[in-house]
Amino acid sequence: MGKVQGLKCPKCMKGYAVEIKEPRCQECHYVLEVELELGGLEGKGADLFLHRKDRSIWRWREFFPIEKEGAIVTLGEGGTPLLPAERLGREVGGAELYLKNDTLLPTGSLKDRSNAVGISRAVEEGHDVVAVASTGNAAASVAAYAARAGLQSVVFVPEATAREKVVQAASYGARIIGVRADYDETARLYGQALKAFGWYNCLSSNPFRNEGKKSYAYEIWADLDGRVPDWIIHPTAGGTGPTACWKGFKELHRLGWVERLPRIVVAQAAACAPIAQAFQAGRDEIWPVEPQETIAESIKVGSPSTMAWRALRAAQESGGTAVALSEEEIARSQVLLATEAGIFAEPAGAISLGAAIRLFQDGSIEPGHLVVAVITGHGLKQPPTQITLPDAIPATLASVEKALRADAR
Ligand SMILES: Cc1ncc(COP(=O)(O)O)c(C=O)c1O
């Protein structure tokens, strides 16, 4: 199991004890980062992990901040397919493109990687009630893991959240707090409620829960037989995905299991792209933006927490980039994924493919580059509204022929 050494401010590097009540730097107010003791793993070597039968994220349990095996709360998350996408590879100029299909996680989104670890930590610390503010996917995920652990969950969602996601969270037994506001305002209210009621926080301002997404790095590395992608592209709002991919690969590098590191790409919707704007302007700080309408609802976060700064840093330090995609590019990615790769993703979850296409068009991705696009949310969570279905036909073969003829027109 993972041993926590302490917490550290990612900005000024000041160290803190694990027991600190609010895991923020007292000087720069940045969300702290977990420091794990990985020293013992050097001697053990990579084979220990590669030969484990467990294909869930817990195959990598020494990399997560959970000390007691009995505290682990799992729904079998992780081990999602890394699919070669030869036909889509043509869209990216002959690059070797892989799709990491996280729509297949237990609740249908990337959030299960972090919440499996977050809720396990809540169990380890003895909490009864866990909570989150969410654009929908984290709400469903926290609710599912809380149900699995026998804990109560409270989830705050903006009023406009896709009904499918809220129904999913409610089905797991969550207390739903729908707020007549956008996500940023909802998250502000959630912050006040968290202080008032003392729930366990499952947002990205909880450094322990963020560690779960490092499992991307380990799984991608193992599935590529030790090859390191030239690019890893991640749909981004709060920034946990890119941050955790970067941290995970840096750990593998420190252990001597990889010789180089991937470039990390933050993919956002142009309608709400605070991290991409900071990157393009060469800024070291993220300024909040007023979100505009976007079909990528799940990543519509205009004022991300200071965690997002680490995603910006990951893109900068790794030689990667941050891109802001138009609504047309996002919609096209969703269609291409479904029709050319057989993956039905929600728009926010498909945006990484659009980013790959953009980076090929601007000359960043070159033929032969190894590219991984992470697909982060299932299409059933926010089904397309533009698709019209044909009327039902009478149950006769003649009607089938007629329908087929009409379709061919
Ligand atoms: C489908 C999907 N992809 C990506 C993200 C971005 O995750 P993060 O907030 O960790 O950047 C979210 C966040 O809600 C999401 O629901």
Write out the chain's pLDDT in tens, 409 residues.
888 999 999 999 999 999 888 899 999 999 999 999 988 887 788 898 999 999 999 999 999 999 999 999 999 999 999 999 999 988 888 899 999 999 999 999 999 999 999 999 999 999 999 999 999 999 999 999 999 999 999 999 999 999 999 999 999 999 999 999 999 999 999 999 999 999 999 999 999 999 999 999 999 999 999 999 999 999 999 999 999 999 999 999 999 999 999 999 999 999 999 999 999 999 999 999 999 999 999 999 999 999 999 999 999 999 999 999 999 999 999 999 999 999 999 999 999 999 999 999 999 999 999 999 999 999 999 998 888 999 999 999 999 999 999 877 6
Ligand 1 centroid to Cα of residue 298, in Å, is 6
Answer yes or no: are the C-beta atoms of 100 and 372 closer than 8 Å.
Answer: yes
34 within a domain of the structure (yes/no): no
User: What is the DSSP pairing of strand 33-36 with strand 96-101?
Assistant: unpaired
Range of the domain at 276: 82-108+209-381
Distance CA 248, CA 268 (A): 21
Ligand 1 centroid to Cα of residue 240, in Å, is 8
285 within a domain of the structure (yes/no): yes
Pick from 172, 129, 168: nearest CA to 151: 129
330 within a domain of the structure (yes/no): yes
Ligand 1 centroid to Cα of residue 405, in Å, is 42
Ligand 1 centroid to Cα of residue 360, in Å, is 23
Distance CA 326, CA 8 (A): 36
Pick from 319, 350, 322: nearest CA to 336: 350
Please state the domain count of the chain.
1
Burial (Cβ within 10 Å: 0-12, 13-18, ≥19) of residue 191 = middle
What pLDDT does residue 33 have?
96
Q: How many CB atoms lie within 10 A of CB 84?
A: 13
Residue identified by tokens 């970067």 is 246
Domain of 259, CATH number, reads: 3.40.50.1100
141 within a domain of the structure (yes/no): no
375 within a domain of the structure (yes/no): yes
Nearest CA to ligand 1 atom 15: 298
- Our mutation pick for probing the ligand 1 site, out of 99, 109, 215, 378, counting the most ligand atoms within 8 A of Cβ, is 109
140 within a domain of the structure (yes/no): no
Ligand 1 centroid to Cα of residue 230, in Å, is 22
Residue identified by tokens 């409270």 is 154
Ligand 1 centroid to Cα of residue 326, in Å, is 17
Distance CA 137, CA 109 (A): 6
Pick from 131, 310, 288, 290: nearest CA to 214: 310
Ligand 1 centroid to Cα of residue 237, in Å, is 5
- Our mutation pick for probing the ligand 1 site, out of 157, 236, 246, counting the most ligand atoms within 8 A of Cβ, is 236
Q: How many CB atoms lie within 10 A of CB 78?
A: 24
Nearest CA to ligand 1 atom 1: 377
Answer yes or no: are the C-beta atoms of 324 and 268 closer than 8 Å.
Answer: yes
Pick from 112, 84, 90: nearest CA to 342: 84
Ligand 1 centroid to Cα of residue 279, in Å, is 19
Written as one string, the DSSP assignment of 54-123 is --SGGGGGGGSS---GGG---SS-----EEE-HHHHGGGTT-EEEEEEGGGSTTSBTHHHHHHHHHHHHH
356 within a domain of the structure (yes/no): yes
6 within a domain of the structure (yes/no): no
Nearest CA to ligand 1 atom 10: 240
What pLDDT does residue 44 have?
80
Nearest CA to ligand 1 atom 4: 235
- Our mutation pick for probing the ligand 1 site, out of 102, 103, 137, counting the most ligand atoms within 8 A of Cβ, is 137
Atom number, ligand 1, closest to the C-alpha of residue 240: 10
- Ligand 1 pocket by C-beta < 6 Å: which residues? 109-110, 135, 137-138, 204, 235-241, 298-299, 346, 348-349, 376-377
pTM of the model: 0.96
Ligand 1 centroid to Cα of residue 318, in Å, is 21
